[in-house]
Structure 1
Amino acid sequence: MSRSYTLYLLISCLGLLISLGSAHLVEVAAGKKECFFEDLHVNDKMTVTYQVGQGGHFDIDFWLTDPTMKVLAKHMRQTTGTVSITAETDGRHEYCFSNQMSAIADKMVSFNVHGIIYVSGADDAVAPVEREVRALAAGLTSVKDEQEYVTVRERTHRNTAESTNGRVKWWSILQAIVLFSVVGWQVYYLKSFFEVKRVI
């Protein structure tokens, strides 16, 4: 195997396995939107996964556009979602999270962006083992996304449980205060029946 072919194969494999993604957490204020972008070339692949961790009804609007402002994907009032595209044009692809439907609640959105850079002729040069490595890398990325989603949901449920525990505690204290107040008033009221009033 020639040195140039080996170098080409290595570059091709690296290009195929390059991931654009890592976990991000963004707060989308009520009535606002947050937009991000990736510069892609023709045949590059990009996947965006997201989930709303807290705020309101845990829903968000999402859309993804290409450089010509053509909408490639659109989700309305979703709690979680996944969008995968293959770029058809070179340029800046923009994706936005919108909370414009809410006038009060801010939303916390956790999202991941993954991608594969296309290298011309790489499919012919990739060995079967490398194809398997690529498939495993995609599977690991999917598992990582699911794990992060479960983490966000666990944090949300924990916050809800702690909030509920706090409300139960204060409600119990209020009930105890009312109970002791009523008992004290009843004792005082009954005591008045047994008082002897002297007439002079």
Structure 2
Amino acid sequence: MFQVTSPYGKNLHHMENVTVGEFAFTTQESGNYMACFTADTKSHGNKNVSISVDWKTGIAAKDWKNIAKKEKIEGVELEIRKLEASVEAIHENLVYIRNKEADMRTVSEKTNSRVAWFSTMSMGICIAVSGIQVVYLKQYFQKKKLI
């Protein structure tokens, strides 16, 4: 059995009794996609099962031969289209990385401010408890007439 599931649990592809095959899909949502392969022990018994996966993403997944046939382009123009797609993919990745970095910076700054606030609060509590202990011990020793 072969099954592909989206990050939100939607079943994208499901095949039973598969021995050989090809499958492609275009993602609509970002995240981790899960591909599950299950070998049926009834039909395979104790045999070794080998699985070979060629998982392509981005521009590597495009079928440039079909694009060239469809749009009737060849040679230099096809290479230019490939380069253009590569540059576009790199740009999208850089924008994604920049946005992720901004999000991480925000989280880091919030965490740092919380740590600073907690440290200040802890120091204040320690000073207050020390003051209370000094007052209590002073009163205790005065009652016992040691001071």
TM-score w.r.t. the length of structure 2 is: 0.51
Structure with max Cα Rg: 2
Stretches of structure 1 lacking an aligned partner (at least 5 in a row): 1-59, 64-71, 87-117
Q: CA 1:83–1:132 in 2, change beyond 3 Å: closer, same or farther?
A: closer
Share of identical aligned residues, percent? 27
| Aligned mate of 1:133, from 80, 99, 105 | 80
Greater fraction of residues in strand: 1
Moved over 4 A (4+): 72-76, 80-84, 118-122
Q: Kindly provide the CA deviation profile for residues 84-135 of structure 1, in whole angstroms up to 9, marking residues without a partner as x.
A: 9x9xxxxxxxxxxxxxxxxxxxxxxxxxxxxxxx899742xx4522222111
1:79 is aligned to 2:26: no
1:144 to 72, 85, 91: 91
- Write the mapping of 1:48-127 to structure 2, written as runs, cut at 5 A: 78-79=30-31, 122-123=71-72, 126-127=73-74
Measured in 1, the distance between the counterparts of 2:98 and 2:32 equals 14
The counterpart of 1:187, out of the listed 134, 138, 142, is: 134
Residue ranges of structure 2 left out of the alignment (5+ in a row)? 1-6, 11-24, 34-56
Q: How many residues align?
A: 99
2:105 aligns with 158
1:79 maps to a residue whose letter is: G
Q: In angstroms, what is the RMSD of aligned CA positions?
A: 3.9
SS at match of 1:184: helix
Report which structure shows greater RCO (CA 8 Å, sep ≥6): 1
Q: Distance in 2 between matches of 1:171 and 1:196?
A: 37
